[in-house]
Amino acid sequence: MLDIRFVRENPELVKENIKKKFQDAKLPLVDQVLELDAENRAAVSEANELRASRNALSKQVGMLMGQAKKDPSKLQEAEEAKAKVKANADRLAELEARETELAAQIRHIMLQIPNIIDPSVPIGPDDSCNVEVERFGEPVVPDFEIPYHTEIMESFGGIDMDAAGRVSGNGFYYLLGDIARLHEGVLAYARDFMINKGFTFCIPPFMIHGNVVEGVMSQTDMDAMMYKIEGEDLYLIGTSEHSMIGRYIDQIIPESSLPQTLTSYSPCFRKEKGAHGIEERGVYRIHQFEKQEMIVVCKPEDSMKWYEQMWKYSVELFRSLDIPVRQLECCSGDLADLKVKSCDIEAWSPRQQKYFEVCSCSNLGDAQARRLKMRVKGADGKMYLPHTLNNTVVAPPRMLIALLENNLQADGSVLIPKVLQPYMGGTEKLVPKQ
């Protein structure tokens, strides 16, 4: 969310940014919010004047009432002053009610106006315009056929989607045996990888209040992703970023404690609305999965440095698992409204002979901080808004797809990367049961 003062002083820049994001339907919002803002400031000014005159009028009434005891002719003047005090009080009550109403309307609109994107973001309407920046590792296409990922898992007796469908419906799964252990091994390795980078490990709440949801994501994303607990002001998190950043709601953070660098484990719950292609069946796009995340809260001047560092951590981790990846810069139309800049890390799929998304790194500037009323107290005593960033460390369902495909051998076995072997009891290779 932008600062209303910024919109007031830079309306054309805000409109141009909306055009760059191909959201022209939102252009009228800028003029609407400025009209409401002007009315609100006028109401605040008038209310302040009435409050300033209130004490003087009250003293005048008291003085006139005292004089009326000795001089009855003053009684009329006292009554007129009392009537003026009441009229002012009634008007002040009207103004205060209007201020509250206007503030709510302004916030509602401001939540819809997208954040200002970084100048380096490529311009384009959708993800087809995302730009490949760099590749890491050599993509390999083996000379044998690679089965679909669920078929690979089934060969180890590692997945049961039929039973999950009976128990929970589509978009769920049971993981079993070595595949379940591999899933947990990947999470444990990712946790330790980030701890070794200096991040503090955290397990957050898996449900959050509605005001936190509003603070960390756009209304569009909320409707498309979040599951609400019926009858309660609680939502299941779609990623631990939601509760991790929500941790700082209404808080003043000492500047000396920045940057806050955290890595968090959580289950994630997503509606996953919309139609998806055949390649997104299996465990690619599901309603429940587990993830290791990285979060940074930092000074504004440090956020781009952290952005670059965070996506590089993802590359380093995937390459340690012998998985080729590439960095893809997200274009303007593919950025969620709160994001200043974002990139995806995509893993190589030998079966599809193309890359697919496994990590998403985002710099959100001060948008979440403003929504959540997070503040930093500087060494000079002044308050400012921090910047927030997030990035996937690993989300094992997709990570498992990449890991299994890239380490599959012609005989159906899967090699376990050396860094994962300690988390698999020293196992070097998975051998199919079927």
Question: Running DSSP on this structure, what letter comes out for residue 135?
Answer: E
pLDDT in tens, 332-386: 999 999 999 999 999 999 999 999 999 999 999 999 999 999 999 999 999 999 9
Question: Running DSSP on this structure, what letter comes out for residue 385?
Answer: P
Structure tokens at 91: 């008007």
Mean pLDDT of the chain: 91
Residue written as token pair 């109403």 = 101
pLDDT band at residue 433 using 50, 70 and 90 as cut-offs: confident
- What global pTM score does this model have? 0.89
Q: Are 202 and 261 in contact (CB under 8 A)?
A: no
Residue type, 266: S
Measured in degrees and rounded to the nearest 5, phi and psi for residue 232 equal: -135, 155
Q: Give the whole-angstrom CA distance, residue 38 versus residue 58.
A: 30
pLDDT of residue 275: 47
Contacts of 357 (CB under 8 A, 6+ apart): 328, 344, 345, 346, 398
* 274 pLDDT above the threshold of 80: no
Q: Give the whole-angstrom CA distance, residue 243 versus residue 232.
A: 17
Residue type, 217: M
Domains (range + CATH), the chain = 4-110 (1.10.287.40), 127-430 (3.30.930.10)
* 283 pLDDT above the threshold of 60: yes
Q: Which residue has the higher pLDDT, 198 or 170?
A: 198
Residue written as token pair 């930093």 = 376
Average pLDDT, integer, range 165-190: 95
**Ranges 65-79, 144-158, 344-358: which has the least confidence:** 65-79
pLDDT in tens, 381-409: 999 999 999 999 999 889 999 999 999 99
pLDDT band at residue 53 using 50, 70 and 90 as cut-offs: confident
* 183 pLDDT above the threshold of 80: yes
**Which CB contacts under 8 angstroms, 24+ apart, belong to 200-204?**
200/261, 200/262, 200/263, 201/262, 201/263, 201/264, 201/265, 202/244, 202/262, 202/263, 202/264, 202/265, 203/264, 203/265, 203/266, 204/237, 204/240, 204/243, 204/244, 204/247, 204/264, 204/266
pLDDT of residue 8: 96
* 143 pLDDT above the threshold of 90: yes
Average pLDDT, integer, range 96-100: 93
pLDDT of residue 218: 81
Percent of the chain with pLDDT over 90: 81
pLDDT in tens, 216-273: 998 777 777 899 999 999 999 999 999 999 999 999 999 999 999 999 999 999 987 6
Q: Give the whole-angstrom CA distance, residue 116 versus residue 372.
A: 18
Q: Are 250 and 225 in contact (CB under 8 A)?
A: no
Strands 159-160 and 174-175: antiparallel
Average pLDDT, integer, range 121-148: 96
